[in-house]
Amino acid sequence: MSLETPEGGAHHQDGLGEPDALDRLWTPHRMAYIRGESKPADDSVGECPFCRIPTLDDEAGLIVSRGELAYAVLNLYPYNSGHLLVCPYRHVADYTDLTDDEVVEVAALTRTAMRTIRAVSGAQGFNLGMNQGPIAGAGIAAHLHQHVVPRWSGDANFMPVIGRTKPLPQLLAETRRLLAEAWPV
């Protein structure tokens, strides 16, 4: 397993996600310092990380697969290794704003994500879901995104409760590569 980490330096990773109160402890490798998104200043396209990320290349943006109307990207602030977000390219906030074709593609990408994560990592279960609106917990509410969170027995251990820290066994770049290579085209 080779990691493109600068000699003797920290690993820097761009990407998107919803910052939370947890620190990430990246094991077993050196600590990764994330240049993540801060909360967008407003709900505009110009401020939106979910609109910006598709303009980057796959490695820089942690994109696992690009569909016609939607894409799958690793969450920069994962709850578990392989935590993906499936997003339409279009800047829409609410599930009811999606076209029929977008609904189908978001669903199909979610299904493929589950199959691929299962094949790569042997996930035993999943949490799927969308937070609709800030009151429902959406950190970046202006652009719809569906969470795909793989689960393993014992993954919800004491660490987040006690240490406000989650141990992550793989750097995001490596996770992205593994999933992208296994993703059916």
Cβ(7)–Cβ(30) below 8 Å: no
| 143 binds Zn ion, rule: CB under 5 A | yes
Q: Which one, 143 or 166, has the nearer CB to Zn ion?
A: 143
Query: Can you tell me which of 11, 13, 50, 140 binds Zn ion, judged by CB under 5 A?
Result: 50
Stretch that binds Zn ion, among 2-10, 87-95, 155-163, 174-182 (CB under 5 A): 87-95
Determine the Cα–Cα distance for residues 169 and 167; give it in Å rounded to an integer.
6
User: How much helix, strand and coil, in percent to the nearest 5, is found in the chain?
Assistant: 30, 20, 50
Burial label for 96, CB within 10 Å (0-12, 13-18, 19+), is exposed
CB closest to Zn ion, residue no: 48
| 145 binds Zn ion, rule: CB under 5 A | no
Crossing angle (nearest 10°) for helices 100-121 and 172-182? 110
| 91 binds Zn ion, rule: CB under 5 A | yes
| 48 binds Zn ion, rule: CB under 5 A | yes
Cβ(98)–Cβ(106) below 8 Å: yes
Query: Can 147 be counted among the known catalytic residues?
Result: no
Of the residues 11, 83, 145, 147, which is catalytic?
145
| 71 binds Zn ion, rule: CB under 5 A | no
Q: Which residues are catalytic?
A: 145
Q: Give the footprint of Zn ion on this chain (CB under 5 A).
A: 48, 50-51, 91, 143
